[in-house]
Amino acid sequence: MPIRLFNTMTRRKEVFESIEPKVVRMYVCGPTVYDSPHLGHGRASVVYDILVRWLKYRGYRVKYVRNITDVGHILEDIGEDRMIVGAKRERLHPMEIADKYTLEYLEAMDKLGNERPSIQPRASGHIMEIIEMVEKLVEKGYGYVVDGNVYFDVSKFEDYGKLSGVKREELIKHRVEPDPRKRNPADFALWKAAPEGYPLRWRSPWGYGFPGWHIECSVMSVKYLGEQIDIHGGARELVFPHHENSLAQTEAYTGKKPFVRYWVHCGLLTINGEKMSKSKGNVVNLLSALEKWGKDVLRMFYISAHYRSDIDFNENAVKMAAENVRRISDVVERVRSMKPVDRPLDEVERKLLEATRRARAEFEERMDDDLDTPGALAVLFGYIREFNRLTSGRDALNAEVKKEVIGFLDMVRRVFGILETRKTEVSTELVEKLISLIVEVREILRREKRYDLSDMIRSRLREVGVELQDTAEGPRWRLLERSGIGFLK
């Protein structure tokens, strides 16, 4: 089954076909780094991290760009740059604020278990390219200059509104105070004039100023991915005006359509049914949440809802996520503890092999269908119930069946980014063989009544995160939580 994604532009699911076969060029709007990252930032980052993981699993090479906005974030060309707001709040220079919260965001992304994007460009590092694009838009008649400001003339772009469905006449009606400097109330800033002493300003052909918010993403996308890309992502609230304006100015600049083949937007996150806001005091710091619940629980929470749906963070949802992580961890530990045996399959093992292959196919089908993570989880937990039923009372499995089961669970772990403690290149098979060898040597020592050495081995194994239990059926081992041993890698 081919991958299908919901395209905001067409408002329907479409079969995914990249511009270049088996190569995906993907741009996602990253944070404006004027404050600490919160749970909402975490949700969006995990959505696109899992999309990248799934594309790779399906054999694509992915060039993934996620930007950092550190200048020019002003909504609808009014108000104050968010970077300036952050600087005033903490009495620091805006670039100090940018450095501080960029590092905090990147730390949170690593702790959340996200794979790093191919490139993470900062807007302030692309001022020359921004000026060049604005000059070209003015030259082509899409931009005009007023008092050192440069605006995009939306009346010159016939398709304006095609992404969001917003009509120009509706925009005019909703403007409380139209800017008299604009030809049309819906026009937006490509470049903003900045007075002397303004902390973020650069020399340009129109005087000192700084870039508009929307032009930054157009420049970085074109520079690193080319004039036409496969996927553009971001939160649903960015569809208008940010993505509508980015689309208009990019297609006007390049003369090529479409700028983006698939617009993939994710839903929003609420806290106990309410929108996050500082005034309500319900903004949850992402690093604090990671410290309290851990990455696996947060990732499980995020994938419990479809990426296009809004998701509510509450106590029950977190408890459910923690329980689901435990269920997966338990079955993986159980599989690992089962002794692999080289003999023909019995009836139960044949059923388990069929169930495993069927579950893998159904899991893939759900993920191919617009990244249906809730559906994929339902398949997984149905399989876990079947596995537990079939293997009740067993402590050994046919080696090939065990390998198939571990392969399926390994795929789930890799795609969802859960149950990994640290990155390692050591394979699961090698880890299991080494631990099994140590356990076997210990059993020989026990039979020889060399209990001092056998006890030392058990103690040292525990120190490195392996718990060994002596049972009536023989020794069993499991990895302790946060053991540091890469598992199912």
Mean of the pLDDT values across residues 95-117? 94
- Does residue 403 form part of some domain? no
- Looking at per-residue pLDDT, the higher value among 344 and 483 belongs to 344
Q: Residue 26: name the closest of 206, 225, 250, 323 by CA.
A: 225
CATH of the domain at 178: 3.40.50.620
Please determine, for residue 482, whether its predicted confidence score (pLDDT) is greater than 50: no
Confidence at residue 423, expressed as pLDDT on a 0 to 100 scale: 47
Tens digits of per-residue pLDDT, 17-55? 999 999 999 999 999 998 899 999 999 999 999 999 999
Residue 486 Cα to chain centre, angstroms: 21
Q: Contact at 8 Å (CB) between 215 and 150?
A: no
Q: Determine which helix (DSSP H) or strand (DSSP E) holds 414, and give its type and residue range.
A: helix 399-416
- Looking at per-residue pLDDT, the higher value among 206 and 186 belongs to 206
- Does residue 363 form part of some domain? no
Tens digits of per-residue pLDDT, 364-394? 999 999 999 999 999 999 999 999 999 999 9
pTM of the full predicted structure?
A: 0.84
Could you give the residue ranges of the DSSP H alpha helices within 236-372? Answer: 244-254, 286-293, 295-303, 315-337, 347-368
Cβ neighbours of residue 21 closer than 8 Å, sequence gap 6 or more: none
Confidence at residue 326, expressed as pLDDT on a 0 to 100 scale: 96
Confidence at residue 307, expressed as pLDDT on a 0 to 100 scale: 98
Residue 412: how many CA atoms within 13 Å on its side-chain side?
33
For residue 451, what pLDDT band results from cuts at 50, 70 and 90? confident
Other beta carbons less than 10 A from residue 358's beta carbon:
13
% of the chain at pLDDT higher than 90: 72
CA distances from residue 158 to 38, 76, 167, 241, 251 in whole angstroms, order as listed: 38, 20, 11, 16, 11
Identity of the amino acid at 199: P
Please determine, for residue 78, whether its predicted confidence score (pLDDT) is greater than 70: no
Please determine, for residue 68, whether its predicted confidence score (pLDDT) is greater than 80: yes
- Does residue 88 form part of some domain? yes
Q: Is 226 left (phi over 0), alpha (psi -120 to 50) or beta?
A: left
- For residue 434, the enclosing domain spans 421-489
Distance in angstroms (rounded) separating the CA atoms of residues 393 and 402: 16
User: Which one of 216, 248, 266 terminates a domain?
Assistant: 266
Confidence at residue 72, expressed as pLDDT on a 0 to 100 scale: 62
Distance in angstroms (rounded) separating the CA atoms of residues 101 and 94: 11
- Does residue 239 form part of some domain? yes
Cβ neighbours of residue 161 closer than 8 Å, sequence gap 6 or more: 167, 168, 244
For residue 487, what pLDDT band results from cuts at 50, 70 and 90? very low
- Does residue 55 form part of some domain? yes
Please determine, for residue 347, whether its predicted confidence score (pLDDT) is greater than 70: yes
User: Which one of 266, 290, 311 terminates a domain?
Assistant: 266
Q: Residue 251: name the closest of 184, 160, 357 by CA.
A: 160
User: Six-digit token pair at 419?
Assistant: 């149950």
Residue found by looking up tokens 């870039």 in the block: 211
Mean of the pLDDT values across residues 480-485? 51
Confidence at residue 332, expressed as pLDDT on a 0 to 100 scale: 94
- Does residue 338 form part of some domain? no
Distance in angstroms (rounded) separating the CA atoms of residues 124 and 95: 9
- Does residue 430 form part of some domain? yes
Tens digits of per-residue pLDDT, 248-273? 999 999 999 999 999 999 999 999 99
- Does residue 31 form part of some domain? yes
Q: Per mean pLDDT, which range of 161-165, 415-419, 432-436 is the poorest?
A: 432-436
Residue 202: how many CA atoms within 13 Å on its side-chain side?
17
List, as one string, the DSSP characters of 131-170: HHHHHHHHHTTSEEEETTEEEE-GGG-TTTTTTT---HHH
Other beta carbons less than 10 A from residue 425's beta carbon:
7
Confidence at residue 222, expressed as pLDDT on a 0 to 100 scale: 98
Domain count, the chain: 2
Confidence at residue 50, expressed as pLDDT on a 0 to 100 scale: 99
Average pLDDT, the chain: 91
Confidence at residue 486, expressed as pLDDT on a 0 to 100 scale: 43
Q: What are phi and psi of 476, to 5 degrees?
A: -130, 150
Confidence at residue 201, expressed as pLDDT on a 0 to 100 scale: 92
User: Which one of 266, 291, 321 terminates a domain?
Assistant: 266
